[in-house]
Each structure stands twice: as structure tokens, then as C-alpha cells.
Chains A and B, each alone.
Chain A
Amino acid sequence: MRNFLAFIRRFRVFLLFALLQGIALTFYFTFLSFPRSQYLTSTSAISGTIFEMKHDLTKFLDLEENNTSLQKENLDLRSRTIENLFRLDNGLVKVDDTLHKVQYKYVPGEIINSTHTKRNNFFTISVGSNQGVKRNMGVFSSNGVVGVIHFAGPKYSIVKSCLTEKLNIAVMIEVSGEHGFLQWDGKDSRRGTLTGISNDSDIVKWSKVVTRGSAGIFPEGIAVGKVEKASVVEGMPLWNVTILFSENYRTVQRVYVVKNLLKEEQDNAESHIPVDPQL
């Protein structure tokens, strides 16, 4: 016991250092994979208020660009029929108003704080669980996909943006239908990569990349970017496709959070997939 106390006294500086490091690093690594508390994030009431004040001062800087893109989107929507409806049957029976059922609803929000230079970039948006925002909902803007909700506080939420390491949104190349996952290498905030695309298919340069809508997080067909180049992954029958994001993550302000009303049903059905199929 005496020796033990002497040991603690001898290394007390290093022990305190190790203890505090332990706290900080535990918090960092647990929050990256599974967020639990809203303290020490930008969703807490104090930091939310500070960012709201900052945003009030700086939002005018990108106003023109944002207005232009919103106007473009309005134009696009006016020339289009409603596509976010879910067909209940295959067109054999025609009964008024029951052919389609709303599958997706959108919550409008505003990005009040964002980073672009880090390895994992998170955006703070000004809607939260009071507006029905939950974890793992998709977030997109008028130009394209922005990210997925990582943590929802009561008034503010954190979005895990497309500029993070392990986001893995299911996307596809629009014409050919080849699908893969969206990833980011941490270097250029204008370019991302697609993984998992088999190299027996031809990739056409500048073909559009859109969301696949398979996970129920995004509706199908939300723009992600355009194919810039494709290179062969060494030793694997896969393309490494570089895409140019259609959204400029430095200036984006207005976003929509996707609420999928049938998500629970889809998850329920998919939970019946056998975990370890005997092949």
C-alpha cells in the first residue's frame, strides 16, 4: 500500500494527464460512431444561440448564390409532376386518390454553422427533434445531397455531411443504373469517390450521379454530382470513380430534412433477411 501511494505520488502528473486524455479521447471516439449526449456539441442551447447570432451576421454573404439556386429549383419543380409519391398498386385498379400515398415529407432547415477543412465535417442545422428530426434522416439542398442527421437535439441537429469518412450513401449512375457508395478522401471539398462499381460496365464521363433510394434515407433521384473520371482499382474488378459534387458545401444554407413515412415498414421487412445465409 505504501509503495502504491508512493507510485501514485511519483507519477501523479502523468496520471492526471492520462486520465484527462482518456476522458477526451473516449468522448471523441464514442461520439464519432455513436452520439449520446448533446452537451459539448453545437446543438446545446448556448452554442446554438451563439451560432444563430453569428449566422444572422454572415448569412447575407452567400445570399445571392442561395437565391439563384432556390429559383432554379422552383423552376425545376414547376416543370415537373410530383415524383415523391408511392404507388400502392401496379396500375390495374384505378380508384381516385388511393393510387398514390405520400412517402416522403420534408422539413426545411437552415445551416447555421459548418466546416469544410477537417477530415470529418459536421454541419449544424436549426431544426431538431421538436420538428420531428431524428437520427439517420437524409438532408439535401436544392442542388444535391448534403448528408445524414448524426445527432438531433431539441432545437438544433448535427448533420454528418458528405465530407466525412464513413457516410456511405447509396448512389447510382443515372443512365446505366450502376450503383455504389459515396465516399470522401478528405482532401478536396469539391470531389468525392464512388466505390463498389464493377469494371465490366462502361462509365460515361459527365453522366449524372443520383441517390439510389434503396436505404429509405433519400428518395430516388436526388442529384449528387457528375462523373469526372474513372480509374481501375489495382487487383480488383472495380472502378474507382471520381465525381464532382453538384453542391458547393462552402456556401450551402437552405436544406431539407427527409422524413420517410414508410421507413419503419421497410426496416421491419428488411429485419427478416437471414443474418447468415447458408450459401
Chain B
Amino acid sequence: MSQIAKHTLRFFLFFLVQVLVLNQIELGMGIQIMIYPLFILFLPVEMGVFSLMLIAFALGLSIDALSNTFGLHTSSLLAVGYFRPLIYKLFAPRDGYDALLETNIFTLGTGWFLKTFGLLIIIHHFWFFMLEMFKLNEIVFVLQKTGLSLVVSILICILLQYLFLRKSNEI
């Protein structure tokens, strides 16, 4: 399957799963599962920051349109797109990234995935909940929501990769 078709298909899958399944799940304690930053992580390594941000903007807007958040998801996903090249540079393997390989938990290892995706999703979740509450005196609640949602989101993202990605092969 060509790269463009694959990523377009994933775009719609992440969008539908987030809106129709994950947005409806309520775990209590302020946990909200958001896995769509994983889509930004999967985009090709050599992709420029402009295209990353524009794609993030598009995905965020589509999710916002169906969850009545009016721009919250867009804003936080945009931050993920903006910070991805910086974080990729920070955690680059010794001999650089292989442009042909997709950046997932199998090609680059669990340690790399936890560091990179962990940092991206911390930015995303903290940005999201901070904007949602928008009050500094409720910072403890924001941190609680961020921390708990973070754990669940990362676990689901790891599970998804083990379920749907074949080792060293596409989809």
C-alpha cells in the first residue's frame, strides 16, 4: 500500500475511533482517553514541520467538530505537531533515523517509544486539560487529570501497536 493511502486511511480510523468510541468511554476520576497523537508519531520522519502542523490542524478540527470542544483538540494536537521535530532530534538514535522505516515501538524499541511518545503526550494532555480548566487554582485537578489520562492513553497506544502493527512490516 502506498504511503499516502496508508496514512489517509489511518487519519480516518483514528478520527472515527476517537470520536465514536473513546469519547464515549467514561472511567471516572477525570480520565479522558486520547490516542490520536499516535497518528502524528507515525507520520514519516522526513516530513517537514509545516506539513506536520497542517495535518495536525486538520485532524484536530475534525475531532473538535464531533466532540463539541470547539478547538481544544486542535490547539493541543498542533502543539504535538510543532514539538515533534524537536523531540525527534532530542532522542535520535546514534546513527540517525532510517527514512524508510516507520517510527513505531518495533522499529525503534520500547525505550525510544516511551521517551518520545511519553513526552509528546505529556505536552498534549497537559495543554488540553490546562486550556479546558483555565484556572491556576485548580492546578491539582489538572495534574490529576493529566497524570491519570496519560497512563491509560499510553497503555492503549502500546496495546494498539501490538495488535495492529506487524513487526517490521506495514499495517
Contacts and interface: CB of A to CB of B under 8 A. Distances in A.
B65 A186 contact: no
Contacts of B64: 40
Contacts of B70: 27-28, 31-32, 40-41
Contacts of A54: 20
25 contacts: A13-B50, A16-B50, A20-B53, A20-B54, A24-B57, A24-B61, A25-B131, A26-B71, A27-B74, A39-B65, A40-B61, A40-B65, A41-B68, A42-B66, A47-B66, A50-B20, A58-B24, A113-B66, A115-B23, A115-B68, A120-B132, A122-B68, A186-B138, A187-B141, A250-B26
Contacts of A158: 68
Given A26-B71, A40-B65, 15 more contacts: A13-B49, A17-B78, A24-B71, A24-B78, A27-B70, A40-B64, A41-B65, A42-B65, A42-B67, A50-B19, A50-B66, A54-B20, A115-B23, A116-B26, A186-B133
Say whether chain B's binding surface is mostly helix, strand, loop, or mixed: helix
Contacts of A24: 57, 60-61, 71, 74-75, 78
A122 B65 CA distance: 13
A28 B75 contact: yes
Contact of B75 (A21, A44, A50): A21
Contact of A117 (B19, B30, B74): B30
A113 B65 CA distance: 12
B152 to A, nearest CB: 12
Interface of A: 13, 16-17, 20-21, 23-28, 31-32, 39-42, 44, 47, 50-51, 54, 58, 113, 115-120, 122, 124, 158, 186-187, 250
Interface string B31-62: 11000000000000000011001100100110
B150 interface: no
B82 interface: yes
What bracket does the count of chain B residues touching chain A fall in?
Answer: 20 to 34
B75 A17 contact: no
Interface in B74-89: 74-75, 78-79, 82
A23 B75 CA distance: 9
Q: Which of A20, A39, A122 has the most CB of B within 10 A?
A: A20
A58 B133 CA distance: 30
Going nearest first, the 9 A-B pairs with the smallest beta carbon separation are A28-B71, A31-B70, A122-B68, A24-B74, A24-B75, A24-B71, A27-B71, A40-B65, A17-B82
